[in-house]
Chains A and B, each alone.
Chain A
Amino acid sequence: MGTIIWTTIGAILTLSVYSFLYKDNPFYKFAEHLVVGISAGYYLVIYYYNFIDPNVVTPVFQLRLGDQAIGFGSGAWWLALIPGLLGLLLYTRFFPKVAWVARWSLGIYVGGYAGLGLSPVMQARVIEQIGANALPLTSVTNVLIVVGLLGTLAYFFFSMKHKGILGVFARTGIVFLMVGFGASFGYTVMSRISLLIGRVSFLLHDWLHLV
């Protein structure tokens, strides 16, 4: 009985969302507000239990990090406390006189991530690509790869106007980009169709038992 009720609720919400295809209406509004509200609450709980509790609350107040005990004032304790305090500083923006302090946390957060990301990005997007694309022009495939790569790089060269030989390469690059986008579009549309089939199957099989 419970299954029937929950399946029916799911089906009604699915139809409410699809009603958006006609136009905005109270059913869609209800489904939209429901999912936004539930997800906000859900993520609040997830963030607390997955991040704040194990990384800040438990180490700082219960002196435990995972299964291990940590000492009050130890390195691990400070490593839990300081990011926690930086997180709290974000709330200073509710107090106009000290709102600027929130920028410290944002600065450390953004700068830290940017620094950490430098080496992997250079490795994956530059170094490895040089190694993979240093191809001798001994086959049609290699020629296509090299011409496509040079054309695309030329298109994304901003220090000169796209005229002359650079313009020719840039236009070639655009052709390669559009061919790539077309292929990607078709591939993704197919995957979206499979999602639609999944919902239709839910309605006709799980809910109405028609198929």
Chain B
Amino acid sequence: MKRTWLTFLTAVLMTVLMTVAAVAQEAAPVVDADTPLEDVPLDTVAPAAPGALTARDYLDSNDAGDKIELDWELSPDDGEGSCDVAAYHVWRSRSASSPGEIVAEVSSGQTHYLDQDLEPGAEYFYSVTAFDGTNESAPVVCAPVAGRVNLFQWSRISILALMIVFFGLVLVFTKLAERGDDLFVRRIPGLNAIEEAVGRATEMGRPVLYVPGIGEIDNIMTIASLTILSHVAKITARYETPLIVPTARAVVMSAAEEVVKQAYTEVGQPDAYNPDNIRYLSDAQFAFAGAVNGIMLREKPAANLYMGAFWAESLLLAETGFEAGAIQVAGTAMVSQLPFFVTACDFTLMGEELYAASAYLSREPKLLGGLKGSDWMKVVTIALMALGAVLNFMGFETFVNWFQTQ
């Protein structure tokens, strides 16, 4: 009995629903492929206009002032409302009285456009409309804007600020060093090893091998290496020990020649300088490594000094030198190669120790100023990081964002 009633009620409900559906279908205009185009009802309702539009000069390094970037807010009908925005039209004009021409069609959901190849300094009027495929919304306009040649990139002001601080510190310490103040620099253990190594080579009557890396002369490690080379050359000149300097770059060879020659002259041994010992081997990394290995085995230097920029050849050199029984001292700021030097050499100047060594050895005011300046710059850096961490924790992210310059 219950089932009968249930069946009856279901039938009535279905009948009512189908009747309603049929009525609704009859009321709705039917559009199919056979319907003439003029009978298709047109979408005459334009989407709502986008929100506030801003246009500003594009800031970039080397910006020639020919770019303007635009940002706007989504139309209320983009993704919501009638949900019929197909694209945004960006209009550009040279006068306020005319909308000008469409210069870009930006997909719905996007709110940014970079207009390029503009006339620097010329004033442009922009407007943006939402477009649903048929209708254009009312335009949203903004104040006229002109591109400027940007000689200064404001987004990188933090770099300038810290460079001023750094060079201020360097200048102050350089002046103090020039004035004769005793600027303390702690002794680096690896430096004693250099002198010991040269002394040992002298006792054994064998040469010293100094490899300034395979970096170009523009590499700061190569420059620091040449300063240390000067110190080593003075010691070998005094001891009258041959100094062999193989190089992988022609310009580095020229610079090494100058440095060694100058060092020999300064200690009163200009005649002991042998230009044939400053050698160009090859620009090719492993050809250079192979040739230096050959020197180690055939000329049997008692001390091998590797100072500068090294890559994959570091272990090849250090391992061969170890097998040959030479005392070895290395110094590099190449983090990826330090493990090999630490493993295979007797002493290693790690990272910044290479630069500190050149300042320590020469006591040159400019180098000392640079070393002391970079030391105190580390303190400034730690203070800024601590301040940033505290502010970040408290929810003030602006300070940290200031240091994100990309």
Binding site for B on A (CB under 8 A): 17, 20, 23-24, 28-29, 31-32, 35-36, 38-40, 42-43, 90, 93, 102-103, 106, 109-110, 113-114, 117-119, 122-123, 126-131, 133-138, 146, 149-150, 153, 156-162, 177, 180-182, 184-185, 188, 192
Contact = CB atoms under 8 A, between A and B. Distances in A.
A161 B186 CA distance: 6
Given A43-B284, A103-B258, A17 B339 contact: no
Interface stretch (B8-16, B92-100, B397-405): B397-405
A32 B297 CA distance: 13
The B interface, classified by DSSP as helix, strand, loop or mixed, is: helix
Contact of B339 (A102, A161, A188): A188
Contacts of B386: 134
A135 B386 CA distance: 8
B163 A118 contact: yes
Interface of B: 156, 158-159, 162-163, 166, 183-186, 188, 217-218, 220, 223, 251, 254-255, 257-258, 281-284, 286-288, 290-291, 293-294, 297-298, 315, 335-336, 338-340, 342-343, 350-353, 356, 360, 371-372, 375-378, 381-382, 384-393, 399-406
Contacts of A192: 315
5 contacts: A32-B290, A36-B291, A110-B218, A130-B388, A131-B401
A36 B287 contact: yes
Nearest to B402: A131
Contact of B217 (A106, A150, A153): A106
A39 B293 contact: no
B340 A127 contact: no
The 3 A-B residue pairs whose C-beta atoms are closest, nearest first, are A134-B388, A113-B218, A131-B403
Given A35-B290, A123-B159, A159-B184, A24 B297 contact: yes
A126 B162 contact: yes
A115 to B, nearest CB: 10
Contacts of A28: 294
A17 B290 contact: yes
Given A43-B284, A118-B163, A106 B255 contact: yes
A131 B388 CA distance: 8
B286 to A, nearest CB: 7
B282 A39 contact: yes
B58 to A, nearest CB: 20
Contact of B283 (A43, A128, A157): A43
Contact of B372 (A31, A136, A159): A159
Contact of A90 (B251, B281, B290, B401): B251
A122 B166 contact: yes
Nearest to A112: B218
Contacts of A180: 335
Contacts of A118: 163
A136 B401 CA distance: 15
